Every structure is written in structure tokens, then in C-alpha cells.
Amino acid sequence: MSTAAQLDALSLEQALTRLRLMFTKPGHPYYLLAPAYRDTSSGIVSMHYLCHMLNLNGREAYIYGTDVVNPDLKTPLFDPAVARRHLAEGKVPIAVYPEVVSGNPLECPVVARYMLNFESFISGKSMNAAATDLIFYYAERLAEARGDVNVDLLCLPTIDIELFAAGAADCAREGAYLYQNRHPLEMIDYDQLPAGIRLLSVANALSLVELAEVLRHAEVLYTYEWSMTCVIAVLCGCPVLFMPGHGVDQQVLENSFFGCVGFAMADQPHALEQARATVGDGLQRYVQRTASFWQQLDTFIAKTQDAAVREAAGNRHGMLDWLRQRYPLPAQVQRLQQALSGPQAPKLAVLVRDHGDRQALLQTLESLDRGLYRQLQVHVLGECDPQRVGVQWHACDPREPVAMMNTLLSDSASDWYLLVEAGETIVASGLLELAVRLLDAADDCQAVYADEGLRREGGEIDLALRPDLNLDLLLAMPGSLSRHWIYRREALAAGFASDCGRAFELGLQLSLLLERGLSSVMHVAEPLLIGNGGPLAACADEQRVIEHHLRLRGYERAQVFALDDVPGGYRIDYGHAHVASVSIMVPLRGQLVDFQRCLETLLTHTAHEQFEVLLIEAGSEDPALLEWLDMVGQIGDGRFQVLRYMPGQPWAALCNAAAQEARGDYLVWLDGRAAVLDGNWLPALLNHAQRPEVGAVGGKLLAGDGTVRQAGLLLGIDGSVGPAFAGLPAQSAGYMARLALEQNFAAVGGECLMLRRELFHEAGGFDASELLAPWADVDLCLKLHQAGYLNVWTPHARLLLDAPRDALANEEQHDALYARWLPRLAHDPAYNGNFSLRAGQGFVLQSNDLSWRPLLGKVPRVLACIAEQDEQALSRLIHPLGALCENASLDGAATVGLLSAVELERFAPTSVILQRPLDDAGLLTLRRLSAFSRALKVVVLDRYPELAQFESGEDLLQRLQAALMHADRVLVSTPALAERLQGLHHDIRVLESALPVGWGRLKGERRAGDLPRLGWIAGKGDEMLEQVVPALSGEVEWVVLGECPGSLKPFVSELHAAVEPGHLGEALAALNLDLALVPMADSMENACSGDMRVLQHAACGHPVICSRVPGFAAGDALPLSRAGNQPDEWLQAIRLHLSDRDASAALGDALQAAVRGQWLLEGTRLESWRRAWLPD
């Protein structure tokens, strides 16, 4: 009996390992994409065994993509229920792909690639690995071929050493064998091989037991190719000779997984003796070479789990998903790199401040290595040399880097400079996108800043989507907005100031703005990096730099105060010496009780004494109101004026007239239903209004329920203008703390709006047009903004306003707003273009489809507006658009439904493709596109409109005429539909549908059943087969995809449920049909439809019999068999095919070849779509 004292160190280590394994949590799951298990492929075996080993090590791993597994292994199959459970549990799936897999077909957020062979050697395709993919190599030579060093190996042992073992030493051996897998049979030169050599071909594979028996008695194994079968032979005591000149030489053998043990090149002297001399060392070599696997497996698990943990933390709110989607396609990358291939391409320098955390520095440098832009110099400023190729080290104290940076800048030849901290990671496409924008930057642009992600404590990723240059916000929170600017070399000619302390970047930025103006800084609304998002704090250096800047601007008495409730935030008192007089203008719209409250709170909560109140009354007949106004008018000291006007005049005109009566230096337009909450509300407004560079100033409006009603205005929201931060709790800091910080908005609300009286008159006052009545305050602010003034919003002037909102503007009023201000509405400088413009979605992320423009200005941009997500939308819009975007011949997006006029202007399409825009919303969109956009308007009619959707035939005709009147071009799918529309438009083009390129890879099996397999896609024309199907019962196997009529089900051998359109191709090919039927009734609706079924069956290689009617896509171009819609004609056509199945199969081959050559969305076929969608 053993005791603990008798256990040696190795036994204790094993016991500890098993104890840990016993309590190991499964962690995040693995999905291994692998083909069906077969012993003859060491690569396939490796994938299945890796799944097995992960499960044995307490993890949760599944095989994906096959239902054929080795029953002796623990390799459960993936199914959708597993994915749903993992999603519900918050697990992050880890995809594991062999090198033959391209891209990320499982769309998992964490990807590990297992390099079992050279990339593209087997599949002929690149892996298209993302920059963040983890790569593990089966052998070092595979890494060397990719130029990778310091890689992770995973030498998984898949050979059963009990089965594949040499026999007894005196075992007689005879016979020479040739291993053959990928080397073509016709290229085997038997003159160079022993006579009587026998072939071991994977095409006629032996079982593992049979293979072991053969190799245990074989004298020698010859081969033209390296394979794990060669290792198996040596373990069985059989030497292996490699034929020269076919990719394997002595150096390859020496560097291979197994070395030269039991191996030799066949052309060497005494090759067989040389191989025999070491064959006995095979088992020892195998154990040596695989002994490290267990540590490698631990590393594999640790790295993949760590990546999944980071993903789970960072992507808690989906921000990583959003960032990952902004990665250009290969063709887009190529086009961008072509644009940057000339000498004008900007040379970037990245300066990394290293604070001594080696792991943090490594993260930053690796992210730069993964980037897509290579015109780059990397400099590390710190105390330790990173000793990394391509990185220049500059020894300095990272806390005081200014002197070293200035020296570096004077010696560097780069065009632009970016400073980052160690631990911050560059987004893979960030520098590439930045370089393209820098290429187009104006000559007077001195600095650029972009958006960024922020890694919070705990790993969560947030987004900082910044506004365009916002001077007041920059001064209010420089810690958020002054980081990671990119400076032009000329801007750094004098270097960073040495007296700014930690705020040396802010000092340079404010100097640039003072000397060159606000237009010298450009904002790129693209995420550049993921920065360190730790908590901000007040910084004395920042305060000192800001105060110095304000003094240079003439504010000698300005003071900067840190905000107690906003870490890192500041409030500026500009220290105006002049005590300004104010006229408070109160239009009396509402109820008397509101006006009384407004006046009472104004008098009791206004600390500023130099003010007058002008009450603007528009001819009311309410006796109580008139009595109250008489009383107010009698109050002494001249502080109150009651201005009475005749009824029926626009409020804007009354306000303009009232402004002529005002005596104050400044006007405050105050809603008569508002209540003042703070005594310092007027000083807070005057603090900014007295600045000569400021136009209008607005305050913070709160609702009665304690939420924000308005905090500045956002242009473009809900198709017009909307209140910022509406609905948030009053004490909330808001997005990027902007609800608590003074900042610039293009417009502030007229409910509380201050500006200089002279400036109000210079701007022409409020526009009194009834069409602009809902936007009079916005229009005034935008005129000031256009004139170069800054409009400022302050949270320190708080008012209560809980009155009902004004009535919605009508269509004509919206049109008037668009006619004057549409380009500005679409590009609010205070609102990042990556945010949504939908109602109630302020500061909510916009879909990347609409907001991301990787090829900005490089290719035409197309917007496809889908009426409904059906098969026609896929074939006529989504698939062609996807193919054109994938090859980077254009850029674009598809939306279900329509965009507002503002969203369309922001998207800035070259063309807008509208599917069946015949409802009221569609006609309005077309009309506004005609009025306000230069985009080509293409109406897609993929079928004749169904009369049931309209009030009458006359209504349908009127809507068609209205839509086509505004359209520039009309696309139809069939000649019949073009004929029906003849005379309604001058440019009607027939463009037949085609299939996505993926359909060109489909292949089904023929003669897969005992009887011929005939079938169809159910749902259209089924009634024509009511007599045909029973008549052939017993002669064929009927196979149906979709909802089969009940009367035919007894005769059907296989019923397959309908699938989503995106999976139709695979489902159709899997039917393994010998003959496909495509029935369709002869009707106008069908003739105009462009039915795709013939094309779809043809792509699968199915011979096709279809109805002898018009309306099939490619129906006139393909070699089809046709039948009239009578049972006897269908039966005759079917029996003709069955009578010569070889000829029928040949017809299927011809159909498939025709589709692959002419009817896929590629080449000239795809180019025809591009031409149809773009201006001539």
C-alpha cells in the first residue's frame, strides 16, 4: 500500500493536475468546423481528436459541419439549441478552423486557426484570417512558411501507438509499397520504382487495422509526398523513401515534424540502409516530438479562454461587435491601398509612451503589427528597450517626455504624428482609414482627431464618438477630447511647450486654434484605437493651460473651476467686467396659470438685477388674462412692458416687433410656460453671450417628472430637429458627460434663448414665414452658425417646462426647412455621424450599413430601399448590391423601408434604388428626392403590382404614374412587364435576375435512390401536378421542398421543410434530384414575375421541365424541356427524360454549365447591374 511519503515529485504533480481538472469549469465553448471523420486524413483526425481532448480536459467542445464522428471519441455534435443555450448563458463561442477554411463562416467573435498544412496548399484559398485571430501551428515549418516567429505550436498526437507498432524483431518483411494521395496517378514514374511495387492509395483506403498489418510486414514504403502515414510506417518498423523533385528534399525532411528518423531520400546512396538504420528509433522520436503537446494544449486553452473572457467583458454592450463590423473587405482594402500607393501617401509616426508595463507595451505594438497601413514608423519612449524589429527606442522618463519628443520630431521625416500610451490598441483598419482621409486633407489642416473606443476597468469597451471640433466642450473636458490628435509636421515645428506639464498636448492644441483658427482641425468620424478608459480627474496643469489660453483671447479675469460632480470636467467664468442689461421676452402662449408661475419664479429666482420683462400678447380675448396683464402693466419702475398686438399674426412677426421695443443689451426669449429654477440662470447665460465670438446661448429645460426635456437641439433627428438628451434623468451626466458640460450646438431651443440685441437685428430676427414657423428658433441659430458664431448651451441655467409639446409640423413645413437647411441638418457638427437620426434614438448607434463608408469618395455609393424582405428583394437588390460591394466596384447599403430626407442627405448616395415605391411614403420619398437630391432615382418593379393592395385599378394607375414621373429610370425583370409599362416612362430597362456566386459551387448527386428522384419546390403551380404525381407513383421517388398539397402527400417519398431564401441553394442541391419540375400557370402576374426556380434548379445540375409559359428568369436562354399545362404533356416530357437518363443528365450538366458561365452575379453579368444602377 503506497503512502503520501512514498509519492515522488512527478506523482504529486500528476495528482495536482488531476485535482485541478476535477474542478475545472467548462468556460467558454469551442465549435470545431471539421469534415466527416475518416481515418485516412490526418488533418480531419486531428480536428476530431482536438475536440475530444478539449472535452477530456473539462472543456465544452462540439463538432460543427458534419454528423459523421468517431464513436470512440467524445465529440458531441453542434446543434442550434446549443448555440441558443450558450447565448442565454452569456458564453462566447470560440471557433476553431483548420487552415482550409476561409474567413469566419461561423461568425464567432473569437477565432483560433489550426494550421495543419501550408495555407492554400489543399484548398487553394487564403484563410482570410482577421488580425485578431489566434493561430496555432502543427509544426514549426508551417510557421516559417508564413514568416511567423515566436509562434504557438499544437503538435497533436493522433497516432495510436498500440495499433501502429513494429512487430517482433525477427518478423519477416517483404514487398515494396507506394503511398499515393495528392500526387497524380498519371505522374507516377514506375521506371524509378522497384518492380512489383504495390499501391497504397487513399482513394482505396485500407482500414487502420489493415494498414497496420501491411506496414508491419512491408520492407519499404515509397512516397512522392509527406504525410502522417509516413510516420505510421516508421512506427510499424517500415522505412520510408521519398522520391526527389516533388516538393520534398533532404532539408524538408530534416525540418519536418519527425526529422529523418526512418526516412531517406530515394536518390541518395544506400538510401534504404540509411532509413533502416534509424527506423528502430521511431517510437522514441514520436514520443519526444509529441511530449510537449500537453503543455501546448494548456496554452491553447489558456489563450483561447483568455480571448473569450476579454471578449465577454469588452463586448458586454456590443461595442466590439460594432467595431469588428467596420473592417474592410479584401477588395476594399486593395482599393484603399491602391489609393495610397503613390508618393503622396502620408507617412505616419506613432509615438508610444511606455510606463514600464511590458505586457501593455506588447499589446500596443502587436496591434500596430496587425494594422492594414504600412507607411508607418513606431517610436517607443521609455526606460527599457523593447528590442523589437521595426521599433525605434528613445530612452527617457515617460512621465516627462516632452524634451525627447521634441528631439525626435526635429529628426523625423514623417508627415503626421500620433501619441499613444502603452496598453492602447490601434483598430486594425484605423490607420488605413485615417491615411485615406489625411490624403484628402486641406493644406491648412494642421491637426486631425478621430473617434475611439475606451477600455473601462474590468475590460468593458465603451465608445467615445466625438463631435466635430467643439471649442467649449474641449475646454470643459479636455481629458476626453484632447487625446490622440494627429499633428501635421508643420504644426509641431516649435515642438511641445515644456511648461505645460501633463497638459502639453492641450497646450499645443489651443495654440493651434488661436493661431490658425477652428478650421485648422479636422474630425474623422472613424474609430482609430481603443484607449485606456480609466476615470478622469481634475488636473492643475489643464486648468493653468486653459486660463493661459483665455488670457491670450482677451479674457484677463477668466477663471477655470473644477466640477465636483463631473470628474475631469471644468466650468469657465469668463470674468466680464461689464454688467449687461437684459430684456426678457415672454411670448404668452399657454394658460394664465403658466404665465403667473413664470413671472413669479422669474422675480424670485433671478439674481441679476439689470433686466426688464416684455410680455408679448397676441390679441387674446380671455378676460382673466387681460385683467392680469393690466395689473402687471401698472407695476412701477418700468421693469415690465405689456406689448399687445392684433390677433392672427405669426408669432415670429410679433417677436420681431417686440424686439424693437426692447432696451436691454441682450435679449432672452423665454417660454411663457417655463419656470426659473436657479437664481444664477441669467449670469450663466450672460457668461457666454457676452463673448464676442458667441451667437445664441441656451439653457437646460427640465420636465415635471424630473427628466430632461431639452439640452440643446440635435439637427436631423426624426427628419427635422429634436431635443438632445430628452427623457434622461435630470442628474444624469449623459453621453460622454455632455449633459453636464458647457458646449457648442448648432442650434439651441427658443424656449430659453439669449443673444445680443444688435446681433438679433443683424441676423434679421425670426423668419416670419408660416412655413418656417415650427423652426423659427432653429433658423435663427443656423443663420448665426453660418455666419461664424458659436452657439453655446449651458447646463447651469436650469428651467422647468412641462407644458404639452407644440403641434407637429406638416409636410409643407418640413419641405421649407429642407429647402433652406437640409445639408446642415444632415451634418450636425455637435452630433457624430455614427449616431442614429431616428426619433427617440439620440446618441444611439446607427447601423454600420448606413454609417460606415470605407471607400468614401473612391467609388459610387448606392442605397437600396427594400419594400419587404422577400425573394424578389434578395434577387433584385440585396444579392447584386452585396456582390458589387464585395468586389469594391461600388459602396452601398440596403434598408428595409425608407429613410427620411435628412438620412438620405447624410448617406449621400449616387443612386437610390427603390423597390415598388407606390405607397404614400414611397411617393413622398420620390418627390423629395426629386426636390432636394441629385441622386439617380431608380424604381425597381420586380412584378406587376397586386391590385388587391390598392383602392382600385385607377388608384394603382395614378400611383404608378406618380412614381414613374419622379423616377429617372425603371428596372423590370421581364419583357412582359416592360411591355405593360410602355408609355409610362422614357427609360424602362429589362434586367433579368441572376444568382449569387455561391450557387456556382453547388453540386448534388444523381441516381442516389433505387428509383429516379423527381421533385419540385412547392408553393407555386402545384395544382398542375395533381394528376401527374399519382400517375408516376411506383415508377419514381417524389421529393418535395416546401409545403406540399395534402392531396399529393401520400405519393411523396421525401418531404423537406421550406428553408429561408439564403439557405435555398444548399437545400435544393441536397435533394439529389434526377429531374426537376417547375410548373407555373399562364397569367399576366406570372409573365411579369421573373420566376427564379429554373435558374436555381439549373445551378444544382438538375435537368428541368418547366411550363411552356413566359416569365422565367433566363427561360429563353437555357436548354430547358417545356410542357404545356396539361397532365398528358407533363407525363410525356417526364417519360422522355426517364427513357434516356444519360441524355437527361447531360442536359442537367449543360444547364449547370450555362448558369455558371452566364447567370451568376460576376463578370459582365454583375457589371450590367452596376450600369443599370448608376448614371450613364
DSSP calls for 791-825: EEEEEEEEEE--SPPPPPP-HHHHHHHHHHHHHHH
Residue 354 carries which side chain, given as an amino acid letter? D
CA dist., res. 658 & res. 583, Å (int): 10
Tell me which residue has cell 436562354: 1117
In sequence order, which residues have a C-beta less than 8 Å from that of residue 495 and are 6 or more positions away? 402, 405, 406, 409, 410
Helices assigned H by DSSP within 933-1035: 953-966, 975-980, 1028-1031
Q: What CATH fold (topology level) applies to the domain 341-534? A: Spore Coat Polysaccharide Biosynthesis Protein SpsA; Chain A (3.90.550)
Longest CA span, the chain:
129
H or E, element range at 1076: strand 1075-1078
Residue 399 carries which side chain, given as an amino acid letter? R
Q: Which CATH number fits domain 997-1160: 1.10.1740.10, 3.90.950.20, 3.40.50.2000, 3.40.50.970?
A: 3.40.50.2000
Going from N- to C-terminal start, the domains of the chain cover 24-153, 176-281, 341-534, 582-705+743-826, 859-990, 997-1160
- The whole-number pLDDT of residue 1 equals 42
| CA atoms 1109, 1114, 1117, 1119: torsion sign | negative
Q: Are 168 and 236 in contact (CB under 8 A)?
A: no
CA dist., res. 136 & res. 155, Å (int): 9
CA dist., res. 167 & res. 158, Å (int): 20
CA dist., res. 224 & res. 246, Å (int): 6
CA dist., res. 1123 & res. 1138, Å (int): 15
* Phi-psi sector, 491: left (phi>0), alpha (psi -120 to 50), beta: alpha
Q: Which CATH number is 859-990 given?
A: 3.40.50.2300
CA dist., res. 211 & res. 214, Å (int): 5
Side-chain-side CA neighbours of 939 within 13 Å: the count stands at 34
Q: Which CATH number fits domain 582-705+743-826: 3.90.550.10, 3.40.50.2300, 3.50.50.60, 3.40.50.970?
A: 3.90.550.10
880 closest CA partner among 960, 967, 973: 973
| CA atoms 466, 468, 472, 474: torsion sign | positive
CA dist., res. 557 & res. 540, Å (int): 18
833 closest CA partner among 817, 813, 853: 853
Q: Are 1050 and 1029 in contact (CB under 8 A)?
A: no
Please report the DSSP string for 995-1012 in residue order.
Answer: B-GGGGG----SS-SSS-
CA dist., res. 781 & res. 742, Å (int): 17
CA dist., res. 668 & res. 151, Å (int): 68
- The whole-number pLDDT of residue 108 equals 93
Tell me which residue has cell 450557387: 999
DSSP 877: I
CA dist., res. 478 & res. 469, Å (int): 12
Residue 353 φ then ψ, to 5°: -85, 120
CA dist., res. 258 & res. 227, Å (int): 11
Average pLDDT across each block of 10 residues of the chain; the chain has 1176 residues. List them in order.
55 68 83 91 92 95 93 94 92 96 92 93 84 89 84 90 85 92 90 93 88 94 92 95 90 84 92 93 89 91 94 86 91 94 94 94 92 94 92 93 94 95 95 95 96 91 96 98 97 94 97 97 97 92 98 97 97 96 96 96 92 94 93 84 94 97 98 96 98 99 96 97 96 97 98 98 97 97 98 98 87 98 98 95 93 94 94 95 96 96 98 97 97 98 84 91 97 96 96 96 91 95 95 96 95 93 91 97 94 97 97 95 96 97 97 97 97 97
Torsion (CA) 827, 832, 833, 837 in degrees, nearest 10? -80
What is residue 500's three-state secondary structure? coil
Q: Are 833 and 525 in contact (CB under 8 A)?
A: yes
What is residue 227's three-state secondary structure? coil
C-alpha cell at 58: 473539462
In sequence order, which residues have a C-beta less than 8 Å from that of residue 139 and are 6 or more positions away? 153, 155, 256, 257
Helices assigned H by DSSP within 280-414: 282-290, 293-314, 319-325, 330-339, 358-369, 402-411
* Phi-psi sector, 1042: left (phi>0), alpha (psi -120 to 50), beta: left
CB atoms within 10 A of CB 939: 25
C-alpha cell at 439: 490624403
- The whole-number pLDDT of residue 2 equals 46
Q: Are 532 and 455 in contact (CB under 8 A)?
A: yes
The answer to whether domain 859-990 and domain 997-1160 are alike in fold is: yes
In sequence order, which residues have a C-beta less than 8 Å from that of residue 1014 and are 6 or more positions away? 1032, 1036, 1037, 1038, 1039, 1073, 1074, 1075, 1076, 1077, 1134
Q: Are 581 and 610 in contact (CB under 8 A)?
A: yes
C-alpha distances (whole Å) from 952 to each of 651, 982, 1093 are: 44, 21, 31
CA dist., res. 395 & res. 383, Å (int): 5
Q: Are 510 and 535 in contact (CB under 8 A)?
A: no
- The whole-number pLDDT of residue 259 equals 85
What is residue 242's three-state secondary structure? strand
Side-chain-side CA neighbours of 946 within 13 Å: the count stands at 4
Pairing of strands 521-532, 447-455: parallel
CA dist., res. 108 & res. 92, Å (int): 8
What is residue 298's three-state secondary structure? helix
Q: Are 855 and 888 in contact (CB under 8 A)?
A: yes
* Phi-psi sector, 725: left (phi>0), alpha (psi -120 to 50), beta: left
Tell me which residue has cell 450672460: 686
DSSP 1118: S
